[in-house]
Every structure is written in C-alpha cells, then in structure tokens.
Amino acid sequence: MNRKTSAIKFVAVSLVVLSNLFNASAQQSKKFETRCGWLDNPTTATYSLSDKDREWTIGVQGGYQVEDFEIPAFKRGQWVSFFGGSYGYGCACLQMTVDYETSDVLEIRKSYARPLSACRKDKALRKWKSTVE
C-alpha cells in the first residue's frame, strides 16, 4: 500500500470516528428527563417551568416556542389564575429535553399536573416562591 492510499484510508476512518462521536453527542443531548416544578403562564404564548435547578423556557410571546406544547390538564384547584383568565401558574411535571446553555426546552413528550401542595412543600422549589406566588 502506498502512502497516498494509506493517507486516504486514515482520513476516511477519522471521518467515520468523528461522525460517530458527533452522533453520540447529539443523541445524549436529546435525552428526555422528567422535571417537576412551577409551570408559569403570565401572558399569551409565554410559558416556563421553574424547577430545582433553574427556569426553563417553553415559549415566549413573539419569540421562541417549543413545538406542539399542550398545557397539562389541571383539575379545579390545581391552577391559580390571574384576573380570572387562563393566565396563571400550577405545579406540573414535564418529560422533556433541554438545552443547558440557553435554558430552552427543546421537546416535550409528556406532561401532567400535580397538586399545588406538592410544589409548595418541595424545599428545592422555595427559591421560586416569590416569583410565582
């Protein structure tokens, strides 16, 4: 085998290895995780989830929006509404993927409502108490 053929094979193998590493990294960042906390909807098309770690952006009016987001089905007493309308907050869990650099939610697979008391009793969520209540 001459040097030119060896160099081409080396480059080809290197590209395959790098491609596999990139794909593994992309798959890892698409990992779904369940996060629970305060789901906040202060204005039209603006949603966020504040959990033990940070506030995650689901959507911003006139800006970023996660595709196909449906608010969990909150029972009576599980959603605190502002001004008697649909805006407000509740306690929820979302199975989602996130971007740790931007705090954007990338995809939501499943969501469900929890009693308000679950978030109120969770000591890790107390730092958000003044924000949502």
- Per domain, the residue ranges of the chain are 1-30, 32-132
Cα–Cα distance for residue pair 61/85, rounded to 1 Å = 17
What is the structure's pLDDT at 84?
A: 76
Retrieve residue 91's tokens.
Answer: 């306690």
Predicted pLDDT at 11: 45
Three-state SS for 116? helix
Q: What is the pTM of this model?
A: 0.74
State the fold for domain 32-132: OB fold (Dihydrolipoamide Acetyltransferase, E2P) (2.40.50)
Cα separation of 119 and 92, whole Å? Answer: 8
Res 8: pLDDT: 55
At residue 5, the pLDDT reads 55
pLDDT beneath 50: ranges in the chain: 7, 10-28
Give pLDDT, residue 28: 46
The pLDDT score that the predictor gives to residue 133 is 55
For residues 119 and 84, give the distance between their C-alpha atoms in angstroms, rounded to a whole number: 22
